[in-house]
Structure 1
Amino acid sequence: MSAFSEDEFAKKLLALRDTHESISGLSSWCLEQPQHHKKIVSIWLQVLKKVKIEQRLALFHLANDVIQYSKRKGFEFVESWGTALQKATTMVRDDKVKNKILR
């Protein structure tokens, strides 16, 4: 496993597409980095603030995938993502995207 790089992770987030393959691939990568869960969530929130509204849905799908898997495996991402998701949902004003996220 290579060393965790904040810049590389940010690039991965920017390249994320709203497809099952893209989301599950990056989700798996995140879950392989449990010792960096706080950095991962922090960078996720920073990137979410920068991207266009259309890409935010893919980022929320990524967060959901990581959280769901973490719940089953007992990883620490669940708590880390709690506050970040509260902040992030206020950044989504587009009704179509907001309804999909709140589901």
Structure 2
Amino acid sequence: MSTGFSAEIFVQKLAKLNIAQQSIETLSHWCIFHHRCCQEVVDIWNKDFHSAPQERKISLLYLANDIMQNSKKDGMRYIHEFLKVIAAALDDLFTNGDDFGRNVVKRLVRETYSCFYYLIL
């Protein structure tokens, strides 16, 4: 059994992602394990996000958040890659989402992404 990264496998895993913490953490750990492919992971995540319905976008934002929070000890590669796309994703959900989606965005910006602000200055 190969332990190498496969975009096809990642797409399959993304399709099974749901809002449950265990689902998010399991896929996050898989992504962090494959940190050498972080650019491809983020590119696939970004495409999936922008074609997803709102409910799925929330799960995808939680996944990105978990990856960024838990990959810091392995370097800043995931953070740098996600910072290229996360603002547009947050704006999309805030602008086009319902109150629940907007509240998710507000909480993530306030509690999480504000700590990465120094990286984009």
Match for residue 27 of structure 1?
28
The answer to whether residue 15 in structure 2 is matched with residue 7 in structure 1 is: no
Corresponding pairs, count: 103
What SS does the aligned partner of 1:18 have? coil
Distance 1:6 1:49 in 2: 17
Q: What is the CA-CA distance between 1:98 and the residue it aligns to?
A: 2.1
Match for residue 105 of structure 2?
101
Comparing 87-96 with 60-69, greater Cα deviation is found at 87-96
Q: Percent identity?
A: 28
Comparing 5-14 with 17-26, greater Cα deviation is found at 5-14
TM-score of the superposed pair, with normalisation by structure 1: 0.90
Q: Which runs of 5+ in 1 are unaligned?
A: none
Q: Aligned AA for 1:86?
A: A
Aligned pairs for 1:1-103 (under 5 A) are 1-92=2-93, 93-94=96-97, 95-103=99-107
**How well do the aligned residues superpose, as a CA RMSD in angstroms?**
1.4
Q: Aligned AA for 2:77?
A: E
Structure showing greater Rg: 2
Q: What is the CA-CA distance between 1:75 and the residue it aligns to?
A: 4.2
